[in-house]
């Protein structure tokens, strides 16, 4: 079957979907799109299920050549995408003709773009998901979790639904000058931090460190001091904000380990994780406390868009 051929692979282009669930007791991580909201909107533009497999393009550097015409959708970061050298802005549904090239250069805003295909990409699920987790060698085109490489062929079996355009005001990229607020639900160890540390955690800006990937993002700022007793390792959810001995928090994302023994401030909400996943190193972010019920309501409102 004809599809899109990878001519240039870039640093990290991965097949991702809604993630791999029900297997953490086996030590298998969640995986899935780091910015699941952007993937969901890309799929929505084509009439797909929001968790259908697509390509997560981190930092750019990817070039695809079409063997046949297709209707695709692009959302998420602005990575300087072009279609036969003509600019292609994210947040759109578009047609690529046979012989045309779709190229992604470098980040202009955000880090991760999402490319959706009619009906979702063809990729056999492993443990219930096609999501690529490189460390665990699961998912992707070959079931081994590898990133896309030159010569790979991306195919799909579905058809695009009726024409759609994104509603205004959706997406995970902050506006220019907008303060990036990351909602956090407090955890069991929050009371074990010094009062000064708790105050500074929520009233001081944090910087996104260079040490950031799909496993986690380190934040730099005031040193947080934990005064509680030592911990036994416990399960780690998406967005867990661990604080190691140096007092600099690490926010754990989709490819995190499944257990950990560092104390935690709590966990970012799934929506906050998507915003963090689009923050470039050096970006300023703020933690803001929310109740679990508020976080749940916000999550359900997002899912309701795609019904």
What is the C-alpha to C-alpha distance for residues 110 and 276, in angstroms, rounded to an integer?
Answer: 10
What digits encode the pLDDT tens for the residues 245-273? 999 999 999 999 999 999 999 999 999 99
Residue 166 lies in a domain: no
Among 154, 170, 190, give the residue marking a domain's end.
Answer: 154
The pTM is what?
0.96
What digits encode the pLDDT tens for the residues 218-254? 999 999 999 998 888 999 999 999 999 999 999 999 9
Residue 62: which domain range?
A: 4-154
Q: Are residues 102 and 204 in the same domain?
A: no
**Any idea what the CATH number is for the domain that residue 190 is in?**
2.40.100.10
93 pLDDT exceeds 70? yes
Residue 296 lies in a domain: yes
Residue 167 lies in a domain: no
Q: Are residues 19 and 125 in the same domain?
A: yes
> Of the candidates 6, 12, 3, which has an alpha carbon nearest to the alpha carbon of residue 72?
3
Q: Are residues 207 and 129 in the same domain?
A: no
Residue 165 lies in a domain: no
Per-chain mean pLDDT for the chain: 95
Q: What is the pLDDT of residue 275?
A: 96
Residue 30 lies in a domain: yes
Q: Are residues 8 and 141 in the same domain?
A: yes
């Amino acid at each position: 079957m004809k599809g899109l051929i990878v001519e240039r692979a870039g640093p990290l282009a991965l097949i991702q979907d809604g993630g791999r669930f029900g297997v953490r007791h086996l030590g298998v991580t969640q995986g899935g799109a780091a910015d699941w909201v952007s993937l969901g909107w890309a799929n929505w533009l084509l009439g797909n299920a929001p968790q259908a497999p697509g390509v997560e393009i981190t930092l750019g550097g990817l070039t695809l050549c079409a063997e046949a015409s297709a209707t695709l959708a692009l959302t998420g970061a602005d990575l300087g995408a072009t279609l036969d050298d003509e600019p292609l802005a994210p947040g759109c549904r578009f047609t690529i003709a046979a012989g045309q090239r779709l190229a992604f250069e470098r980040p202009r805003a955000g880090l991760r773009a999402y490319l959706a295909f009619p009906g979702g990409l063809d990729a056999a699920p492993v443990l219930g998901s096609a999501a690529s987790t490189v460390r665990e060698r699961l998912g992707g085109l070959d079931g081994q979790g590898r990133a896309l490489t030159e010569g790979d062929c991306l195919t799909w079996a579905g058809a695009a639904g009726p024409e759609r355009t994104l509603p205004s005001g959706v997406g995970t990229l902050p506006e220019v000058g907008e303060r990036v607020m990351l909602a956090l639900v407090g955890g069991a160890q929050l009371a074990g931090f010094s009062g000064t540390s708790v105050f500074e955690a929520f009233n001081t800006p944090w910087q996104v460190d260079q040490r950031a990937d799909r496993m986690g993002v380190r934040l730099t700022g005031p040193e947080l001091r934990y005064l509680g007793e030592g911990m036994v390792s416990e399960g780690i959810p998406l967005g867990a904000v661990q604080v190691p001995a140096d007092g600099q928090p690490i926010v754990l994302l989709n490819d995190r380990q499944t257990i950990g023994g560092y104390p935690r401030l709590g966990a970012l909400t799934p929506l906050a994780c998507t915003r963090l996943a689009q923050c470039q190193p050096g970006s300023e972010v703020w933690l803001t406390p929310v109740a679990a019920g508020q976080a749940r309501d916000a999550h359900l409102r997002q899912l309701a868009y795609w019904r």
